[in-house]
Structure 1
Amino acid sequence: MTDEARVRRIGANEAGACVDALADVLVDCVEGGASVGFMWPLPRERALAFWRGVAEGVARGERVLLIAEDAHGRILGTVQMILSLPDNQPHRGDIAKMLVRREARRRGIAQQLMAAIDEEARRERRSVLVLDTVTGGDAERLYARAGWQRVGEVPRYALMPGGGFCSTTFFFKHL
């Protein structure tokens, strides 16, 4: 039931105003074991600093930031597209930090976020998207169902939030 969430792009001013709520989403996901670049325990100030940096990147036009929110405006999930890439890759976007609160999962929110980021990529004239995810996780299955092509796997690529290595699978998508 995807009618529970509204997905939209937020600009620089609103991104700054959403830092606290986005930090809550990040902390929840990392606490739940998501390998998204942070270790557990994740200090709130570290999560806030990350999202402040994202907001600054949005303000500079280096990132696209989408949020999924419920009818009350509570942020349930988010995804980003990094636009600031080398000069020879103006057609590419890197998808990053696709996060959905644990309590809001299995409602189609991640699918909505991924469909919306495809549309934003088209608006930004990006025809090749890339991302990476923990091998064997729920997100890997989500991306495959959404038409992403698996490129390969790198064993021991990162650490899980509680420690221990995990493999990472890389995907691409042509729009």
Structure 2
Amino acid sequence: MSSPTSARESGAEQETPAGKDGANRVAASTREHAQTLSILIFRGKPEDTPATRVTDLYVAANDDSNTNSTFRLDGQPGRYRAGELWNLAAPRLRPDYRSQIHVATLPTTSAVDTTLRDTIKGAAVNNEDPSWGCQHWVGDVVTTLQELGMISEDEGDRAIDAMMNIILAAPR
């Protein structure tokens, strides 16, 4: 049996004395923290075509508050910037919602860990290429996360393939 200190440090369940009879009971283990990364796809406007479909990134924490962030490109070609919106309605309840693709669930050090958020916000925005847009940005962010080892190659490739299939399924 591990000591209370080592069990606590490892996040494992620990035994604690219960009652006057000296019996032991198992206390609940400390909650592990994680953030789930998804790709969101919305119908294009004014007409829903593969070129006009909108893609965002969505990060949901497994905290008691259901904290979430939506990351998107704001602006227009040549003047894009990455933006972040906090605690929006569930994606499926948003206007023009089409699909949500799970990328990965990443363990975090705490409920307020900003590593994933900072990486997404720090991804390069290509304002030099007029044909570059939100679909490219999502792909670039996923590639960056793969290169940093934050998600596996398989997770990233599977998510990008699914995103492209949904984008290409738009009416032409």
TM, length-normalised to structure 1: 0.26
The structure that is helix-richer by fraction is 1
TM, length-normalised to structure 2: 0.27
The structure with more radius of gyration: 2
